[in-house]
Structures are given as structure tokens and as C-alpha cells.
Chain A
Amino acid sequence: MNKDKPEKTKYRVLVDGGKCMGCGTCEVVAEKTFKVGKITEIVDQDGNSDEEKLLAAQSCPEGAIEVWEGEKKVWPK
């Protein structure tokens, strides 16, 4: 078991490919969740903690990342 990886997180992230500029900030903040190439992929919804995923979304300069907890949208508010 990978000790650095949270077992199960509450938040699910979505990337709007139409808004994403590929700047890579999300990958810097939550590097086990996002992979930025020609498009930004979500490689593992549980790769980082909820706090890191939320911070990645809040740091996105294009507002391209949504964070959901079940049916509730956590970000953007």
C-alpha cells in the first residue's frame, strides 16, 4: 500500500477542456491527480487529498476545474 496516497477521498474533480490552457498549476498542486499534456487528464481521483484537489481547482487561472462532493458542487462556489 502506498502510504503517501489517501485511501479514499470525498471530492471528485472535473476538467473543462474548453477552458483549460494547460498551464500546469493543477499538476504542481495535486500531481497524483492531474497530468497536463496536450490535454489535462485526471489520472487518479484519489491520488491527492481533498484539500490538495480543492487548492488545485482554486489555483486554476482559467477556472477550468470543478470539485464535487456527491451531488454538491464544492468549487467554484
Chain B
Amino acid sequence: MKKGVSLKKMKVVEKRRMKGDFWWVVLKGDEDFKFEAGQYVSVKVSEKGERRDYSIAGREKDEGLALLVDVGPGGVGSRFFENIKEGEMVEVLGPMGEFTVRDEDKSLVMIATGSGIAPIKIMVEEEIKKGKRVWLVWGMRYENDVFWVKMFKEWKEKHANFRFDLVLSKVGEEWKGKRGHVQDVVGKGLEEWKGSGFYVCGSRETVEDVERWLLSNGVKLELVRKEKF
């Protein structure tokens, strides 16, 4: 195994529903679990040995880590996290992944769709504290699935270097916020943010669409980093 990666037993110390199919699950092991914002872990989700990857969405006290789990897909990973209870143990492999913020990026455009917000949230949280200019654009389908908006607005009030936009694709006339897709929102600020590092996370199809769109709109390939589910 590569250096820094290990197999650990961790305890579920907190499990709570965020909204709809989204759960917040906090894991804690006996030893320090060192990771960089943007990395993921592979969790054993069946007795048979099947594993699923989950991005780390938060650092918790006493070296814990938090996962944002979307049980919407309904597969073996979803069933595992729906059924697991606080106090139970899980087998975690990690941390893994290179979807981390490059030091050389002086400003960041963070684009997330759906549960792709998990690694983006912790990256944003850490980078705005370092003073980097950060623009978060989060695309969701329905208003009822949205969470963390209050928190992101609070960050915006506290940090002048942070800009946040939520865009919903399936909303009725009563929705007063931005509607459409993440590209519609990013397009309006692209000239100003073009030299930034672009970090994109979401479903495979969406990430590929967004990447193609960025490149066709003049963003250099080396400035784009992506994580697909």
C-alpha cells in the first residue's frame, strides 16, 4: 500500500439526516487519521467484501472524519449506511485521491453538483481561512434537497474572499434564486475568474460536461481538476 494509506476500524460516533437522502456520518478511530481536504476513503459495505468510495466532507474533533452519504442511489453502499447505527464499527481504507488544492492556485472556482459538495465543502472551508479568493457554485435539482445554505451564507458574511451561488435546475416559478445549471452561473463570472484553479466534483456525466464547457470557453486544461462519482 502507498505511504499514508492504511486499513482502519473506525466507530460511527454520529449519524444524522441532513435532508432527504443525505446523511452526515462521523467516524473516529483509535489513532490519528491524517488526510488532506478533497481526499476520499473506501468503506467496506458488505460482509462479502464490497467497498464504496466516499469523499471526506469534514474534520471532526479528536481526529475524526465526517462523510456526506447520499443513499438515493439505493445500492449496497446506500443500504449499508441506511442501516448502520451509532456505536457500530466500519472498516475504512484511506485516505486516497489527488483531488486536493494546489498551492499555486491563488484563487479557486469550486463547482459541485449534488453530493459532489462533500469534498468541495471541506476544501472551501480550509481555503477561505487561508485567505484565498474562493467562488463556490453548487448545483442541485430540487429546493427540498438543499442543505448547508445557511452555513455557506454565514461564511460569506464572515469572509470577504468567499463568494457563493446556489443554482437549482428543477424548480417552480416561486423559486427566487438562480435557476439552470452550474455552467449558467459560472459563465457570468468566467472572465473575472478565468486564471483561477477550477475544481469540479459530481456525477461522471456532469463533471465531463462541465470540463468540456470550461475548456471550450477558454479555461486552460492544466487549471482544471476533477473528481467523478
Contacts and interface: CB of A to CB of B under 8 A. Distances in A.
Contacts, number: 36
Taking residues whose C-beta sits less than 8 angstroms from the other chain, chain B's interface range is 10 to 19
B156 to A, nearest CB: 33
Given A25-B42, A25-B96, A28-B96, A58 B50 contact: yes
Interface stretch (B1-9, B10-18, B23-31, B179-187): B1-9
Nearest to B77: A61
Interface in B38-54: 42, 44, 48-53
A18 B25 CA distance: 33
B48 A77 contact: yes
Contact of B7 (A24, A27, A55, A77): A55
A59 B1 contact: no
A15 interface: no
Interface in B83-115: 93, 96, 98
Contact of A52 (B1, B49, B96): B1
A68 interface: no
B5 A28 contact: yes
Interface in A3-38: 21, 24-25, 27-31
Contacts of A52: 1
A58 B2 contact: no
A29 B53 contact: no
A29 B95 CA distance: 11
Contacts of A77: 48-49
Contacts of A75: 49
Interface string B145-185: 00000000000000000000000000000000000000000
Contact of B2 (A21, A28, A54, A59): A28
A56 to B, nearest CB: 9
Contacts of B52: 61
Given A25-B42, A59-B42, A59-B93, A31 B51 contact: no
Given A28-B96, A29-B93, A55-B7, 4 more contacts: A25-B42, A28-B2, A58-B50, A59-B42
11 contacts: A25-B53, A25-B96, A28-B2, A29-B5, A31-B1, A58-B44, A58-B49, A59-B42, A61-B52, A75-B49, A77-B48
